[in-house]
Amino acid sequence: MIVTKLQGCVDMHKIVKDYLQNHNQIEEAQLNKKKFVIDIPSRSFQTAEDNMVLLKEYFLKNNSIYISKHPRFAPYPEHSHHFLELNYVYSGKSVQYINGRREVIKQGEILLLDRGSSHALGEHGEEDILINIIFPNDKVDIDWLSSLNDKNSVLFNFLAQTMATRSRKEYLIFRCSQNEHVQMILDQMIDKYFTEPIFANEIISLYIPILFTELIGNCTYDFYEEKKDKTNHQVVIDTLKLIEKEYASLSLENAAQQLGYNKNYLSNIIKKKTGETFSELLSKQRMKQAKFLIEGSTLPISSIVELVGLKNRSHFYKQFKAAYGELPNTFRENKK
């Protein structure tokens, strides 16, 4: 399976293929001793309550992206980190225990771990190649994630906020094994990192927004958080999905009725978890759809007002200008 995968990446340099497939010194030691051999220096972590905490000062020095192959042939002990970590299953599979929950991440899939999440890894066999990618904070903070806002859904905005805030011990698994674009982007990032061409870090940094745009736009994902807040979070997820689907006719009252919650309870949870009211989220979704129709069609503005669920044209004009800085007709003309 490994050979097929590696041979398929015709653009990847031979030295990188060899690095991924061959055993390194730590892997040889684990294979011979049949137990875990620590693969990082003592200055790269601290111990707190029997848990290894990996330090960003070591892994993200000089503000550079850090990429490594996870060592095979022995389980990896539980640890957490002060940074956001991306695990890419290059081939085979990876069994992980994240915040006490067992997850199986398959070939081509991606695990994105929030700061503070703890995970232990099961033993990886010969065919199980896992790549660890660590990003400097300034490349994945809320401002950067918000820059993707214009092309993504309200649901992504919420997930982006939760992933960018102070540690919530959350994680995402992107089920993207069939997406060739994702595989190509990651293969190029890995290749550039290990072959070290000039401006390698800058090139890899440019791939990050492309990767996330592809993941959010064209991949399904599972989202998990600590159990204590699971119910409230699911309420928000269900509400945001409903807003995306039924924005033209939806109200707080019928959203609460469809989801089986009290109207005031739903309103309070939405505000608490997203920082915005139900009406603000609904308006935002309507304006995004209106913008899409104004840019991509010749429909009269009056028709677009009705299609997004509004009846008062003056109110629509006011909301649209507040969102995009121009009145709809001016916005359309400028786009032309």
pLDDT in tens, 101-150: 899 999 999 998 877 788 899 999 999 999 999 876 555 443 445 454 44
CB atoms within 10 A of CB 207: 15
What pLDDT does residue 162 have?
A: 52
38 and 179 belong to one structural domain: yes
What are the pLDDT digits (tens) for 162-196? Answer: 544 445 667 889 999 999 999 999 999 999 999 98
Q: Please give the pLDDT value at position 62.
A: 61
Q: What is the pLDDT of residue 4?
A: 41
Q: Which SS3 state, helix, strand or coil, does residue 160 take?
A: helix
Please report, in angstroms and rounded to a whole number, the separation of the first and last CA atoms in the chain.
50
Quote the pLDDT of residue 142. 38
Task: Give the separation between CA 91 and CA 93, rounded to whole angstroms.
Answer: 6
Max avg pLDDT among 60-74, 75-89, 161-175, 226-240: 75-89
Boundary (domain end) residue, out of 202, 225, 248: 225
- Pairing state between β 110-113 and 171-175: antiparallel
- Structure tokens of 212? 């996330």
Checking if the pLDDT of 5 tops 50, the result is: no
- Whether 44 and 89 map to the same domain: the answer is yes
> How many domains are contained in the chain?
2
Same domain, 250 and 192: no
211 and 66: one domain?
yes
Q: Which domain holds residue 158?
A: 2-225
Do 259 and 199 belong together in one domain? no
* Total residue length of the chain: 336
Query: Is residue 160's pLDDT more than 60?
Result: no
- Residue written as token pair 């669920």: 309
Q: Are residues 160 and 93 in the same domain?
A: yes
Same domain (yes/no): 18, 138: yes
Other CB atoms closer than 10 Å to residue 190's CB: what's the count? 23
Residues 173 and 246 both lie in one domain: no
pTM value? Answer: 0.62
For residue 240, how many C-alpha atoms fall within 13 Å in the half-sphere facing its CB?
23
Are residues 210 and 84 located together in one domain of the fold?
yes
Distance of CA 209 to the CA centre of its chain: 11
> Same domain for 186 and 272?
no
Shared domain for 215 and 77, answered yes or no, is yes
